Structure 1
């Protein structure tokens, strides 16, 4: 087919692949390309534009990931049309701010990298999830096929041997924290990391529990600071949120030994433990102390919170208590997200996605670290997950950096809000998974300037 003009400016600072993807998007939204049109092969388009095939292949990959185009085996690449949730990135040469929530590119932590999803595999999973007949009765445990995929995932990527009977489906990590919290005696004391995940703090308090803050340092949770008489300890040992440290081997052993000696439960939130870029993912606390550790996992960071799917691997008594709560309240995790996750993992798509996600986020992390260093600032945290910590000298500097970035069109997350008590440190918790690659590229120079405050 004849393509509309696709001008490429080799003198611009914007990559040629990004320019080409912009041009094809614009041709689609403008009507020059319509749904069902077959695009030229990457080789033919490269020859026509006088660029390398790497450029055209990267542009097509971006359009496929965003849902503007789809690949059909043996037939080529076809225009799908403008996805309802997509938007055309604003070229970096203009002074306009890319569109987004409240007009800002959001670099806070906690969002998944949905751009890394293989959209063809994603659609296959949803179609497969729609095949079974509608459910007649609620299921408090979780679909067998979902739990089987979780077991395979935990063994291959987290080194945790488990049986499907050990697994309960959940609505995600925060939902699972709330469910386990309701199995504890009213007013029981639960130790949490400080700074830490404030949604977990809220879930515990909403269950009528007393929350006690325990400090965190470069080796993770300070285990000796956990007070006596604690009923449970909530922690993020693989990648402490938000400081980014990992719980040291010595402290892991100490925490499990204390849990056994004092009879408390350890809630291990493994929200992004699969995502490491320096070494293999770290062993789970649940593998070290399966009798005292409840392992929490989620699909939200691996794939998307759209699924509302997570899992709990816990001692039998904990599982029984959670099921009893569900029986009394009628609560149970939705099966739809479980079906999609199970279908996505059944034929290797989940493992392929995880490899692709690690490559993508590793590259993004390198770009973020370079931008922070260009401002003369340091980065804390392991080479893992989807955020880094940028320490700052005080709360006033933190506020100034956040305000300067917002004025430039970028939303940053201050460390202060991650404390339940008055903050002991200041900094920026800088996420890099949520925005599109073009948005991140656009935003990082602005982050560098804001950090120079």
Structure 2
């Protein structure tokens, strides 16, 4: 192999006898190449469920690439559900059959309303996939004329030969005005860094603040990508319980280096952290010296009352704010922001330069043009109305079977509710007043058969259980229903299918409960068979039957 060829291409045969190749001269980013090869290895069985993958440090050294390349590849696979970070023990290949019972969770062809093309072993019965998974925005209503104007301005701007690690000054000024107006963030351009999105910003924070072995709090259940970033940086991820209002601030560990939270719309359960609990969280951070990382991922979209200002405003020295355009505009834009105290931001910028990490200059110019012209604000107003209509469809249809949850007197916004699940709280919608998804809390035995049955009828769903990371396992079970990427007609059709399946599962659960109650009162199966009740064999009482 020539010297030039050696520098262009690096090949690894790892401890699992897996050849991995990174082509440095290729058009595809190295992280995407690596993620694609690992994904193919898991699809073909070369990497099996439960198998531990190499550490980012070891794999980067073996391939001769930066650790950032491997970290980004792992983050992508973690977010897609291919990898699973286990508390204190490393990163493993996930068991995808447990995520989507009855088949592979990657539809063949292009799911309706989705920009992603994935493969599967079967097609839906009616030939159309309806993608109701969360995390996707509606991109087809972007004002094309405004989009072209922004890119004309970007095309006319000179290219930088030495990009600023903080980002384009013009965009930082526009973002400061936007965040002050929309989120009451008291930051000037000197306190804002332009990132490539939430994951990139989170990794920069972790790389700057964390040392191997540091303990980091993450909401439980919570965003899988955050756990992946912290684990990749060698941190010990500590699960922090949530309730109907967000992260439970009572009894947070005192030795956390930082805590990651989604206070505007907790992912995935949807709680909004009330002001009293926000103040308690900031007081805890001041007392312990911990930092708070606030992920403001879909705070622009609230449908009942005005959103609370960003948590960052309570203590800019203790709270690092992360934001992104992936939900408000499109994930393909690849622009986000990191807001922090200027001294800390300087440290993050130096670390970023060490990585050679940057956000595309032309993309930053285009986004600055959208903000400067007011086109982005107009787009946000249109999308709030559009998502409100979609949310109304979801709540109306699913709410017939699972009524929306409202804060009870026993778990007031001012107090701390019991974390996790509550048998009396199942069969309900959660988090329906904001964002681009709702959670449907269900009894544990119902979830897997329902997801499989919905899939057979062409509806793709995600589950709450995927967002747990601790060995203790899920305390809340159910669905996470997104309404960002499908059309309103598809959302209505998909929700009716899900509602029918929910209604049938609930009837079965009530039948089981009734038969069990009769057996208990009657003193045994013999007397239960004589008691009035629904007809059917006695074995129906043992479990909820499979859905069609």
Q: Normalised by the size of structure 1, how large is the TM-score?
A: 0.76
Residues 191, 234 of structure 1: 8 Å contact kept: yes
- How do 1:50-449 and structure 2 match up within 5 A? 96-98=126-128, 104-183=129-208, 184-376=210-402, 377-394=427-444, 396-421=445-470, 422-449=473-500
Residues 157, 281 of structure 1: 8 Å contact kept: no
User: Residue deviations 1:239-294, cap 9 Å, x none?
Assistant: 10000001121110011111112111100000011111111121111111111000
Secondary structure of 1:130 counterpart: helix
Taking structure 1 as reference, are residues 158 and 107 closer, same or farther at Cα in structure 2, changes over 3 Å only?
same
Structure 2: distance between partners of 1:267 and 1:205: 16
Structure 2: distance between partners of 1:403 and 1:382: 24
- Mean Cα displacement is larger for which, 422-431 or 436-445? 436-445
Question: How far off its partner does 1:138 sit?
Answer: 2.5
Residues 167, 193 of structure 2: 8 Å contact kept: yes
Question: How far off its partner does 1:441 sit?
Answer: 3.1
Secondary structure of 1:182 counterpart: helix
Secondary structure of 2:327 counterpart: coil
Q: Which runs of 5+ in 2 are unaligned?
A: 1-109, 115-123, 403-426, 506-548
User: Residue deviations 1:285-317, cap 9 Å, x none?
Assistant: 111111100000001011001111000110123
Structure 2: distance between partners of 1:386 and 1:116: 16
The RMSD of aligned alpha carbons is 2.0
Residues 130, 460 of structure 2: 8 Å contact kept: yes
Residues 113, 487 of structure 2: 8 Å contact kept: no
Residues 371, 447 of structure 1: 8 Å contact kept: no
Secondary structure of 1:97 counterpart: coil
User: Residue deviations 1:34-86, cap 9 Å, x none?
Assistant: xxxxxxxxxxxxxxxxxxxxxxxxxxxxxxxxxxxxxxxxxxxxxxxxxxx99
How many pairs are equivalent?
359
Structure 1: distance between partners of 2:308 and 2:142: 24
Question: How far off its partner does 1:126 sit?
Answer: 2.0
Structure 2: distance between partners of 1:170 and 1:222: 29
Q: In structure 2, what is the equivalent of residue 81 of structure 1?
A: none
Residues 149, 346 of structure 1: 8 Å contact kept: yes
Structure 2: distance between partners of 1:210 and 1:324: 25
Taking structure 1 as reference, are residues 136 and 425 closer, same or farther at Cα in structure 2, changes over 3 Å only?
same
Structure 1: distance between partners of 2:132 and 2:154: 32
Residues 395, 432 of structure 2: 8 Å contact kept: no
Q: Which runs of 4+ in 1 moved over 4 A?
A: 85-89
Residues 129, 336 of structure 1: 8 Å contact kept: yes
Taking structure 1 as reference, are residues 448 and 350 closer, same or farther at Cα in structure 2, changes over 3 Å only?
same
Structure 2: distance between partners of 1:197 and 1:425: 15
Q: Normalised by the size of structure 2, how large is the TM-score?
A: 0.63
Structure 2: distance between partners of 1:410 and 1:169: 37
User: Residue deviations 1:320-357, cap 9 Å, x none?
Assistant: 22112112221122223322211111111111111111
Residues 194, 213 of structure 1: 8 Å contact kept: yes
Structure 1: distance between partners of 2:141 and 2:283: 40
Structure 2: distance between partners of 1:348 and 1:201: 36
Taking structure 1 as reference, are residues 210 and 417 closer, same or farther at Cα in structure 2, changes over 3 Å only?
same
Question: How far off its partner does 1:228 sit?
Answer: 1.1
Residues 245, 271 of structure 2: 8 Å contact kept: yes
